[in-house]
Amino acid sequence: MKATIFTYEFPPNIYGGAGVHAKYIALALSKRIDVHVRTLESGPPPSLPIKVWRYRPSVHGLAAPDPRLAKAFEVLSFNVNMVSDPIDADIVHTHTWYTNFAGALAKKTYGCKLVATVHSLEPLRPWKKEQLGAGYELSSWMEQEGLEACDAVVAVSQEMKRDIRRFYRIPAEAVHVIHNGVDPEKYHPREGSASLAKFRVRKPFVFFCGRLSRQKGILDLVEAMDLVPDGTMLVLATGKPDTPDLLDELRSVIDGREGVVWIHDMLEDPDLVNLYNEASVFACPSVYEPFGIINLEAMACETPVVACSVGGIKEVVVDGETGFLVPPADPERLGAALSKVLVDPDLAQRMGKAGRARVLEQFTWDRIAEKTLDLYRTLM
């Protein structure tokens, strides 16, 4: 069996959970079957044990004077370019709206079976209009065409499956729940004080990492810090912002606050794993989160998690056992839950141990790859 994975994000171009998923599922599947990847050309490519084809968008300036609409047209051209080279795979597997439409084209052109993993849905992200303007209608259309053409759709959570069925004409039997995973050999308990010195962080601290997006609820977390024990620091590691104005908005709310360290880069090992390990608690204040790999990463490092009870988070974090779940957009409840962990080191340790045990039992990439391969076999 041969599979070709279509993904916009792939090393070295990773800025969110979908890119992390695409990287690790490709590597895990490649141990079992022949896997090729088609992705965006971006920066010097790293050495990987799989064949990676890289493509550029070929449309520039079409939508002037609105550059947001031009972005959507560039993605459309990228989709066409990805299928311009012949595909001899049995399975084409797409990730996110950035490649869903390419999958539909590949199925029509080359007769392959089509699978898509849904990490989020455009109809549930109306703030994307800030990024794409009228191009949001185009991104939504590309997603719909790509998903409704699929032979099978992978939802990363049960709630995502319900959302897919709510918005798109896809039979229930065609939607399969396969969770995200984490690499427990990369994310594991260890001493990480070197990164504290590097970023001038002192303990105790609450840690957040993720995209700078309204989806992530970061402003709620900043407000919640008013309710935690005195002396607790907040460390924010935010990757690429959805829109430039979000940088100014976050800067304005943390300006003048003591005890906030803002890291503007998407962290990688060793700093990311070190900060997970040294944090007293990891916070995931998302208002929309189909899954949330970041919670698994923290749990694998034996760090307790306080997260909002939305989407797939409810299938990862066990309330009262591996952390606490709170309602979204409720800084007061978020601050209270963070405080419970911060004032009780024994509770934090028990939750951390339970979190890693849960990861090892259910959420390794090898387990995810086996489930994905089983799905492929049903299509063959």
The total of structural domains in the chain comes to 2
Tens of pLDDT, residues 288-312: 888 889 999 999 999 999 999 998 9
pLDDT tier at 17 (50, 70, 90 boundaries)? confident
Say if residue 63's pLDDT is above 80.
no
Residue 62 has pLDDT above 80, yes or no: no
Where does the pLDDT of residue 64 fall: very low under 50, low under 70, confident under 90, or very high at 90 and above?
A: low
pLDDT score, position 16? 78
**CB atoms near residue 254 (< 10 Å):** 18
Instruction: Give me 59's structure tokens.
Output: 């449309």
Q: Which residues span the domain enclosing 250? A: 193-362
pLDDT band at residue 285 under the 50/70/90 scheme? very high
Please indicate, yes or no, if residue 319 is contained in any of the structural domains: yes
User: Which whole number is the average pLDDT over 48-72?
Assistant: 83
What pLDDT score was predicted for residue 260? Answer: 97
| Domain annotation covers residue 16 | yes
User: What is residue 15's predicted lDDT score, i.e. its pLDDT?
Assistant: 80
Does some domain include residue 188? no
* Predicted local distance difference test score (pLDDT) of residue 133: 84
Same domain as 173, residue 315: no
Could you tell me if 281 and 293 lie in one domain? yes
pLDDT of 141 strictly over 80 = yes
pLDDT at 150 over 80: yes
Separation of alpha carbons 147 and 290, rounded Å: 16
Check whether residue 160 and residue 77 sit in a common domain: yes
Six token digits for residue 233: 């620091």
CA angle at 58 for the pair 53 and 61, rounded to the nearest 5°: 145
What pLDDT was estimated at residue 29?
Answer: 97
In this prediction, residue 292 carries a pLDDT of: 87
- Say yes or no: 314 and 206 in one domain: yes
Mean pLDDT throughout 339-355? 98
Tell me how far apart the alpha carbons of residues 317 and 323 are, in angstroms, rounded to a whole number.
6
Average pLDDT, the chain: 94
Mean pLDDT over 201-213 rounds to 95
| Confidence band for 44, pLDDT divided at 50, 70 and 90 | confident
Output the pLDDT for position 190: 97
Q: Which two tokens stand for residue 41?
A: 């050309």
Q: Is the pLDDT confidence value at 142 over 70?
A: yes
pTM reported for the whole predicted model: 0.84
Neighbours of 231 (CB within 10 A): 12
Do both 174 and 209 map to the same domain?
Answer: no
CA 301, CA 363: separation in Å to the nearest integer?
Answer: 13
Average pLDDT over residues 42-66: 83
- Asked whether residue 216 is assigned to any structural domain, the reply reads yes
327/67: higher pLDDT: 327
Mean local confidence (pLDDT), 150-170:
96
- Closest to 315 in 3D by CA, of 94, 160, 194: 160
Q: Is residue 187 part of a domain?
A: no
Looking at the fold, whether 79 and 15 belong to one and the same domain comes out as yes
Q: What is the pLDDT of residue 66?
A: 78
Model confidence pLDDT, tens digit, residues 189-198: 999 999 999 9
CA distances (Å), 43 to each of 8, 11, 338, in order? 13, 9, 39
pLDDT surpasses 70 at 287: yes
Nearest Cα to 110, choosing from 10, 1, 4? 4
Let me know whether 46 and 87 are in one domain: yes
Instruction: Confirm whether 302 is domain-assigned.
Output: yes
Could you tell me if 158 and 246 lie in one domain? no
Task: With respect to residue 86, please indicate whether it lies within any of the assigned structural domains.
Answer: yes
pLDDT at 284: 98
Nearest by Cα to 288 from 319, 317, 328 = 328
Q: How confident is the model at residue 249 (pLDDT cuts 50, 70, 90)?
A: very high
Residue 186 lies inside a defined structural domain of this protein: no
pLDDT in tens, 78-119: 999 999 999 999 999 999 999 999 999 999 999 999 999 999
Helix (H) or strand (E) holding 116, with range, is: strand 113-118
Q: Do 214 and 143 belong together in one domain?
A: no
What per-residue confidence (pLDDT) applies to 49? 92
Same domain, 206 and 76: no
Tokens read off for 152? 């099978």
Residue 323 and residue 221 share a domain: yes
CATH number for the domain including 245? Answer: 3.40.50.2000
Shared domain check, 372 and 312: no
Across the range 47-74, mean pLDDT stands at 84
The pLDDT confidence band at residue 319, using thresholds 50, 70 and 90, is: very high
